[in-house]
Chain A
């Protein structure tokens, strides 16, 4: 059997994540997010398993999606002349920020110490965006005024949009493959039987809260730079670059920018991981 590709694994992860997301939603309560999450984790039968599967397949989806994106640049080089290919690439690249939004909102929705801090920071970052910041906050977050209602809606919307965009683009072009799906799913099922999804106490961190792994670099930058530059502009650089990639005549500079950004972000993230207080 051929090993599943990054694209196949990311598709399997997304399907599993959506399914387990709906399973977990049956017992999740927006009005009591932390209590219901701990109840799912510790009280309800097999709650820990569904939560773990939802958490890890979502992580898997984002990681595999980025690798899949990197993997398909080769194809872009040979097909880039067609206008439709360029439009498709730009539209489908929206899946990356949507996937990160779904993942990030998932962290906030559990509303433990990390989730509460992540929600407050995201809200303040959006409000720092000139002119449209308030509107963006009202649409995506508004945690301080509306609780988690809006974020929950956005979490579901972002996940479904990832699935819709992915399906729209890949229908009639690639096949998932039964074996690839079963193999990926089995690997995650076994993994989640042994590794639980993290959760911490709302007041569990006196000196240091470390955000989600993909947010650690931004968290570190926010200690030293202006919130708009560190929390909005800097993370938008790779997303914008990937979206405009097929429209550029000479891509060497864009590839170099992405490479430098990735290494720089990995370095800053490492500083964030090593921080003790």
Chain B
């Protein structure tokens, strides 16, 4: 390759890199999304549960427990099967106990749990979803 061509190619690559950087920086930037609070305004007795899009809230003898509905395998929204007291992922059939503990399937990890606090008036619960 002649020196002139080499320089020309190098210049073009440099120009490409210079243009790509602002594009990459613009697209890659993540907008800040604050943590969310989901309010469940109803009483739940021990043994009962409430299904929300992002979690299932159980009332147990030891207190409320919010278990994530996001599968730890590839992020599908999993379903709670009341009669079997377990979660089932409809995408790849991973199974989890109602506590979120992994049972079988390709997921291998337990489901996440979210922080729950009872409302001050005792009429419900607040679930905190991380950012």
Contact = CB atoms under 8 A, between A and B. Distances in A.
Contact of B106 (A120, A145, A207, A224): A224
Given A121-B74, A222-B73, 7 more contacts: A117-B77, A120-B70, A120-B77, A138-B28, A138-B30, A144-B75, A219-B92
Interface in A128-158: 135, 138-139, 144-146
Contacts of B56: none
Is the interface on chain A under 10, 10 to 19, 20 to 34, or 35 or more residues? 20 to 34
Contacts of A277: 93
A209 B91 contact: yes
30 contacts: A116-B77, A120-B74, A120-B76, A120-B77, A121-B74, A124-B74, A135-B24, A135-B28, A138-B28, A138-B30, A139-B27, A144-B75, A145-B33, A205-B90, A206-B81, A206-B88, A206-B90, A207-B93, A208-B90, A209-B76, A209-B91, A219-B91, A222-B73, A222-B74, A222-B91, A222-B92, A222-B106, A223-B93, A223-B105, A227-B74
A112 interface: no
B79 interface: yes
Contact of A125 (B30, B74, B81, B88): B74
Categorize the interface residue count of chain B: 20 to 34
Nearest to B88: A207
Contacts of A121: 74-76, 91
Contacts of A41: none
* Chain A interface main SS type: helix
Describe B's contact surface by its main secondary structure: loop
Contacts of B93: 207-208, 223, 277
Interface string B54-74: 000000000000000010011
B75 A123 contact: yes
Nearest to A138: B28
Contacts of A203: 79
A276 B99 CA distance: 26
Contact of B27 (A138, A209, A223): A138
Contacts of A117: 76-77, 90-91
Contacts of B88: 206-207
Contacts of B90: 113, 117, 205-209
Contacts of A211: 91
